[in-house]
């Protein structure tokens, strides 16, 4: 009987999850022109695709960009989202309103958001930042082109973070609201102020949520693609390229012209990115232990 109930789930799991993973790993060992080419057209190259990736300066640049997005963006998003979550759970008025406002960028299409940042905020002609700086008579700063090679990366990260804060704030909120208010009442009676309560109660009890947030952030960062595409028009550049964009260019070709394609190389990028997420998840599990507290 158990077999009857399990079989559909097992078949679906094998077909939808395991098969693509195994096929991607195998593909990464071959040179494949078109992503759907039959196996008879594949050429076995062993680990050459991986060697080529590590020797390609553009892929190294893309990986470094991803690391910077993960690190800088992670610091900004985690800090801001936690701050908002703590403020919203501190009993302020209009909690639902502010929660909706902060989450709103998540329900707006990334294309619309990026267009807003590019055309409205960063525009060197009439951008919000330029106008503010000019109002403050900081004319030299107002002349800085925020979308040139020097500043484009940070402009991209800031815009991306704006869209991500709300999502992670909700995860923090759910964690904080799980903590019984009785603990805070007891702490208040014992004389602990808000900062001490946050430092010695909220933070330790949010370790599990922190782990979830880091994992979710890593997964979404690894798939960094749309924002990169939107911040670079026809072709990606060294400030906006990420491994996903590089993978896309290898599989489907990039830019206005015909470029050499190798889906095997693209698959190798996919395998490496998956390994990155697994490594981050494993490190999080080892470093952050949330099974020492029960509440």
Binding site for other proteins (CB under 8 A): 34-38, 55-59, 61, 118, 122-125, 145, 147-150, 233-239, 241, 246, 249-250, 252-261
Q: Indicate the residue among 37 and 177 with the shorter CB distance to other proteins.
A: 37
Planar angle of CA 159, 164, 168, nearest 5 degrees: 155
Helix, strand, coil tally for the chain in percent (to 5): 70, 0, 25
3-state secondary structure of 148: coil
Least Å distance, CB 130 to other proteins, is: 11
Q: Indicate the residue among 168 and 261 with the shorter CB distance to other proteins.
A: 261
Nearest to 127 by CA among 105, 101, 158: 158
Least Å distance, CB 253 to other proteins, is: 7
Q: Indicate the residue among 34 and 204 with the shorter CB distance to other proteins.
A: 34
Least Å distance, CB 240 to other proteins, is: 9
Least Å distance, CB 122 to other proteins, is: 8
- For 15, 23, 43, the CA distances from 36, given in Å and listed in that order, are 17, 12, 14
Q: Indicate the residue among 8 and 140 with the shorter CB distance to other proteins.
A: 140
Q: Indicate the residue among 48 and 290 with the shorter CB distance to other proteins.
A: 48
- Are 172 and 213 in contact by the 8 Å Cβ rule? The answer is yes
Q: Indicate the residue among 49 and 197 with the shorter CB distance to other proteins.
A: 49
Q: Indicate the residue among 213 and 250 with the shorter CB distance to other proteins.
A: 250
Least Å distance, CB 80 to other proteins, is: 26
Place of tokens 């078109």: 34
The DSSP annotation for 173-223 comes to: HHHHHHS-HHHHHHHHHTT--HHHHIIIIIHHHTHHHHHHHHHHHHHHHHT
- Are 274 and 219 in contact by the 8 Å Cβ rule? The answer is no
The DSSP annotation for 18-78 comes to: IHHHHHHHHHTTEE-SSTT--GGG-EE-TTHHHHHHHH-HHHHHHHHHHHHIIIIIHHHHH
Least Å distance, CB 125 to other proteins, is: 7
Least Å distance, CB 55 to other proteins, is: 7
Question: What span, in angstroms and rounded, lies between the C-alpha atoms of 221 and 167?
Answer: 13
Please provide residue 30's backbone torsions phi and psi, each rounded to the nearest 5 degrees. Answer: -125, 160
Instruction: Record the tokens describing residue 142, joined without a space.
Output: 């107002």
Q: Indicate the residue among 204 and 255 with the shorter CB distance to other proteins.
A: 255
Question: What span, in angstroms and rounded, lies between the C-alpha atoms of 284 and 243?
Answer: 23
Least Å distance, CB 133 to other proteins, is: 16
């Amino acid at each position: 009987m158990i077999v009857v109930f399990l079989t559909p789930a097992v078949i679906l799991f094998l077909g939808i999850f395991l098969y693509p993973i195994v096929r991607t790993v195998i593909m990464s060992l071959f040179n494949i022109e078109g992503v759907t080419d039959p196996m008879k057209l594949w050429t076995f190259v062993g680990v050459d695709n991986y060697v080529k990736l590590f020797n390609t300066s553009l892929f190294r640049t893309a990986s470094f960009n991803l690391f910077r997005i993960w690190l800088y963006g992670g610091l900004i998003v985690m800090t801001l989202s936690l701050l908002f979550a703590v403020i919203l759970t501190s009993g302020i008025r209009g909690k639902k309103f502010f929660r909706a406002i902060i989450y709103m960028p998540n329900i707006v299409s990334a294309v619309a958001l990026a267009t807003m940042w590019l055309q409205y905020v960063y525009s060197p002609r009439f951008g919000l930042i330029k106008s503010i700086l000019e109002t403050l008579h900081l004319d030299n700063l107002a002349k800085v082109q925020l979308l040139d090679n020097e500043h484009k990366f940070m402009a991209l990260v800031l815009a991306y973070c704006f869209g991500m804060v709300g999502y992670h704030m909700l995860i923090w909120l759910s964690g904080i609201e799980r903590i019984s208010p009785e603990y805070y009442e007891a702490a208040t009676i014992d004389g602990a102020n808000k900062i001490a309560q946050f430092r010695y109660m909220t933070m330790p009890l949010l370790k599990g949520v922190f782990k979830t947030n880091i994992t979710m952030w890593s997964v979404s960062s690894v798939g960094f693609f749309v924002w990169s595409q939107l911040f670079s028009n026809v072709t990606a550049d060294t400030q906006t390229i990420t491994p996903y964009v590089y993978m896309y260019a290898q599989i489907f070709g990039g830019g206005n012209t015909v470029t050499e394609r190798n889906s095997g190389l693209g698959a190798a990028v996919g395998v490496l990115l998956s390994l990155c997420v697994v490594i981050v998840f494993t490190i999080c599990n080892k470093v952050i232990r949330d099974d020492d507290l029960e509440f």
